[in-house]
Amino acid sequence: MSLIDNAIHLPKEEMPRQWLNVLPQLPEPLGAYKAPDGSDMPPAALGAIFPPKLIEQEFSDQAQIPIPEPILEAYALWRPTPLVRAYGLEKALKVNSKIYYKNESLSPSGSHKSNTALAQAYYNHEAGIKRLTTETGAGQWGTALAIAAQRFGLDIRVFMVKVSLAQKPYRQAIMSLYGAEVLSSPTTLTQAGRAALEQNPLTPGSLGLAISEAVEEAAGRADTNYALGSVLNHVILHQTVIGQEIKKQLALVGQKPDYLVACHGGGSNFGGLAVPYVADVLAGQKIQLLAAEPAACPSLTKGVFGYDYGDMAKLTPLMPMYSLGSDFVPPAIHAGGLRYHGASPIVSSLVKSKIATPVAVSAQDAFQYAKLLAQTEYVVPAPESSHALALTCLKALELEKAGTPGVLVFVLSGHGLLDLSAYENAPD
Amino acid sequence: MSLIDNAIHLPKEEMPRQWLNVLPQLPEPLGAYKAPDGSDMPPAALGAIFPPKLIEQEFSDQAQIPIPEPILEAYALWRPTPLVRAYGLEKALKVNSKIYYKNESLSPSGSHKSNTALAQAYYNHEAGIKRLTTETGAGQWGTALAIAAQRFGLDIRVFMVKVSLAQKPYRQAIMSLYGAEVLSSPTTLTQAGRAALEQNPLTPGSLGLAISEAVEEAAGRADTNYALGSVLNHVILHQTVIGQEIKKQLALVGQKPDYLVACHGGGSNFGGLAVPYVADVLAGQKIQLLAAEPAACPSLTKGVFGYDYGDMAKLTPLMPMYSLGSDFVPPAIHAGGLRYHGASPIVSSLVKSKIATPVAVSAQDAFQYAKLLAQTEYVVPAPESSHALALTCLKALELEKAGTPGVLVFVLSGHGLLDLSAYENAPD
């Protein structure tokens, strides 16, 4: 008997040695960021909260950026991640399509966020920074940055969205285990936090507000920088290892993708999947890039394209993006990582130029297919990832009905083991 | 730059195709099990709660037992598991010893329990059984059996030790996600449960009591069998894939072990590590097999060897083993999987004949080194596994002091992501 390996493994030597920068490829150049007051903003203005290398990457015109060795060494702890053929799921759905998932849940933090967390911690450490502040929604980003800070010897303070902290107490425990200080946002430590509490003492908090708090503190301290887990160009850049690996893995089994699906909150997961395929789409290949966003926070499908702030207190630059408005407080859905009012400028540009297509997914579908994945593939997906999973399943069923099965790949951006309370209260 | 892979991977084809049975190798044959009233007990008496194949394995004199294909296929979902060189841990400890850990946390359930859960569910399914009952302490066994039951189409009811359920609410959520019914033990559904509640309405429960409840129910229903996650010979048999893989993996890097360490509750993890090495020890190789048990429940180091019951209500056969007494209720330590009054007959025999050595480990040491492992290897160990880890670290430090570094291997029996509340209240 020969044993089937459901996973396509890339050898370590095949790990991507560079990140892919989509900026030079975009049909229309991204509009320049503007200062919060609307005036022109030189890149150097970001120096108050970011190290020089990340600012350089944010606006780079290089097509490829080599990954420094200390980051490659850290990636090698778990990368390349397997691309798994979901035979059990296909069978349960009774579809002839081939469904693959890229298992980013195997990282030290349990999600794809480690890809950029390690890069950001490294560049800050290189720049002599001793301390980072950040926000976290579901806790995946905070966990990833806590581990990355631990690896590169930085202290870290995490502003965690109040409602998420209450929903997911184990998140605080794991970030603390890795040495992070975790605060429930809004706090009374920042002007942004105090203002929000004054307006509504019972606010559940939001990612936009937690970002304001973390940025405000970092801007006010010379030894402290801020790190963002999504939205920005350099974050998406670091995530492009995902799409690059998928491409190599599909080539190993002689497959070409028809649909590539990732969840969309701020854009880092979707961007990391999509960017390596942008050139193929522009060259006319029939690949659909689908961004699965929650119906409860539909920034891409219902948002308006224009300049908006990345945070609630309007401390960040104005960026060209789809947005529901920087003062939008999304409902307390369990996919906390997708509770963001805006979308990254890069993903916004891909959607605007019709290279990528956004689809809103209901929480009900997300939970239903999450349960199916657990019971067929023995993997518990994060609520965020479940949106990509659900969209993939719905698409596979649609293809089956049309008699046109295809090859679908979704990113399992993280596991849901620290989100299990969500499953207890899941909508039926 | 060539990237270091800290993990030694075995190819799928190298997965063990047989389990190793230690019974024919033991210097003294195991004493026969006796009926609860002390009379002779024919193996067939176990037929009320176990399928024929497992009873056959319990008393087999075959040195090797082939693993059936459906179980191999299930194992292939994640096995072979990697053997990881813990460079980060070695560096932090400042030791020249080589420390490896066998990462059993990568199974669908997150622990080594899946190795026997899948085998037991398979044999019950083959025997026409529709439903399983079981107990669980920390929740690892219950999770593993829930997934295994899901795979082979069985219903399952889990009696979870009350104190563990309260400590680890996510465990109930994950077992439910996989379709299991989870009850807090003691319940009022069984005589054993009612008797315990009458004696002490506030009892925290114990593994021994939860076993009584599960056995009582299974014995009374023809469509229902019972499954035990540790202690018994057939359970240890199924776990021998662990030690077999380690042997091959160490050979791949030209290493021989000086110390092999696993935690000890009922004996399945330690047995699975030790059994494949028993012949080597008997042949005079200098390998120390160390069983790390919790100081709060020291069945091997402080227990008495003799015949005792496996459960509190004295429903199980009498077995020859080290025991603290079947009515011993261990304190509510966080390593719930190690809260068992007895030890498996096989491990008891190995200890009695000095093939294996037990060592009691304090909860304080377990948590201290768990934190160190997280911060150096980016893995959160289960509280149970932390006992093996701590003993390994203490031994490596001792070897360093003596100027005699060696090769140490411990089993990371499971991850601690569903036990994070334990870390919040960890002793300093």
Residues in B touching A179 (Cβ below 8 Å) = 375
DSSP A223: T
Q: What is the DSSP string of B240-291?
A: HHHHHHHHHHHHHTT---SEEEEE-SSSHHHHHHHHHHHHHHHTT---EEEE
Residue in chain B lying closest to A146 (CA)? B375
Residues in A touching B101 (Cβ below 8 Å) = none
* pLDDT at site A335: 79
Helix, strand, coil shares, percent, chain B, to 5: 45, 20, 35
CA distance A426 to B425: 29
Q: Do A151 and B110 touch (CB under 8 A)?
A: no
Q: Do B177 and A13 touch (CB under 8 A)?
A: no
Distance to chain A for B352, nearest Cα, Å: 39
Question: Which of A188-197, A311-320, A379-388, B358-367 is predicted least confidently?
Answer: A311-320
Domain B3-16+68-111+234-424: give its CATH code: 3.40.50.1100
Please tell me which of the candidates A3, A6, A417 has its beta carbon nearest to residue B418.
A417
Residues in B touching A386 (Cβ below 8 Å) = none
Residues in B touching A428 (Cβ below 8 Å) = none
Average pLDDT, chain A: 95
Q: Do A72 and B378 touch (CB under 8 A)?
A: no
* pLDDT at site A23: 98
CA distance B391 to B360: 9
Q: Do B174 and A375 touch (CB under 8 A)?
A: no
Q: Which of A101, A63, A81 is CA-nearest to residue A276?
A: A63
Residue B6 φ/ψ region, left for φ over 0, alpha for ψ in the -120 to 50 degree band, beta for the rest: alpha
B255 burial class (0-12, 13-18, 19+ CB within 10 angstroms)? middle
Residue in chain A lying closest to B69 (CA)? A1
CA geometry: angle at A342 spanning A340 and A343, to 5°? Answer: 105
Q: Which of A128, A109, A142 is CA-nearest to residue A336?
A: A142
Widest distance between CA atoms in chain A: 69
> Which three-class secondary structure state does DSSP give residue A391?
helix
Residue whose pair of structure tokens reads 């026997």 in the numeric block:
B116
Q: Do B173 and A418 touch (CB under 8 A)?
A: no
Q: Which two tokens stand for residue B254?
A: 């030209």
* pLDDT at site B135: 95
* pLDDT at site B331: 81
Interface test with chain B among A1, A2, A3, by most B beta carbons within 10 Å: A3
Distance to chain B for A275, nearest Cα, Å: 25
* pLDDT at site A426: 66
CA distance B391 to B394: 5
Q: Do A420 and B69 touch (CB under 8 A)?
A: no
Tell me the residue ranges of DSSP E strands in A203-265.
224-226, 259-263
Q: Which distant-in-sequence residues (6+ apart) come within 8 Å of A354 by Cβ?
A: none
* pLDDT at site A364: 95
pLDDT (tens digit per residue) in A188-204:
999 999 999 999 999 99
Distance to chain B for A76, nearest Cα, Å: 7
Query: Beta strands A131-136 and A224-226: pairing type?
Result: parallel
Q: State yes or no: pLDDT of A428 exceeds 80.
A: no
B90, B393 contact by CB (below 8 A): no
Domain boundaries, chain B: 3-16+68-111+234-424
In a 13 Å sphere around the CA of A219, the CA atoms on its Cβ side amount to 14
Backbone angles phi, psi at A143, to 5 degrees: -65, -45
Q: Is the bond leading into A80 cis (omega within 30 degrees of zero)?
A: yes
CA distance B268 to B120: 14
Q: State yes or no: pLDDT of A427 exceeds 70.
A: no
CA distance A395 to A200: 41
Q: Do B3 and A418 touch (CB under 8 A)?
A: no
Query: Beta strands B259-263 and B407-412: pairing type?
Result: parallel
Q: Which distant-in-sequence residues (6+ apart) come within 8 Å of A198 by Cβ?
A: none
Q: Which distant-in-sequence residues (6+ apart) come within 8 Å of A417 by Cβ?
A: A110, A380, B110, B170, B174, B417, B418
* pLDDT at site B426: 66
Q: Which of B60, B62, B26 is CA-nearest to residue B282?
A: B26
Q: Which two tokens stand for residue A321?
A: 């993006």
* pLDDT at site B413: 98
A/B interface, count of CB pairs below 8 Å: 97
CA geometry: angle at A415 spanning A411 and A418, to 5°? Answer: 150
How many Cβ atoms sit within 10 Å of the Cβ of residue B286?
A: 10
Query: Beta strands A64-66 and A18-20: pairing type?
Result: antiparallel
Residues in A touching B423 (Cβ below 8 Å) = 173-174, 176-177
Q: Do B147 and A418 touch (CB under 8 A)?
A: no
Question: What does each of the 428 residues of chain B score in pLDDT, given as a tens digit?
Answer: 677 789 999 999 999 999 999 999 999 999 999 999 999 999 999 999 999 999 999 999 999 999 999 999 999 999 999 999 999 999 999 999 999 999 999 999 999 999 999 999 999 999 999 999 999 988 999 999 999 999 999 999 999 999 889 888 899 999 999 999 999 999 999 999 999 999 999 999 988 899 999 999 999 999 999 999 999 999 999 999 999 999 999 999 999 999 999 999 999 999 999 999 999 999 999 999 999 999 999 999 999 999 999 888 898 999 999 999 988 887 877 777 788 889 999 999 999 999 999 999 999 999 999 999 999 999 999 999 999 999 999 999 999 999 999 999 999 999 999 988 877 766 65
Distance to chain A for B379, nearest Cα, Å: 7
Q: Which two tokens stand for residue A195?
A: 């203002």
DSSP A331: -
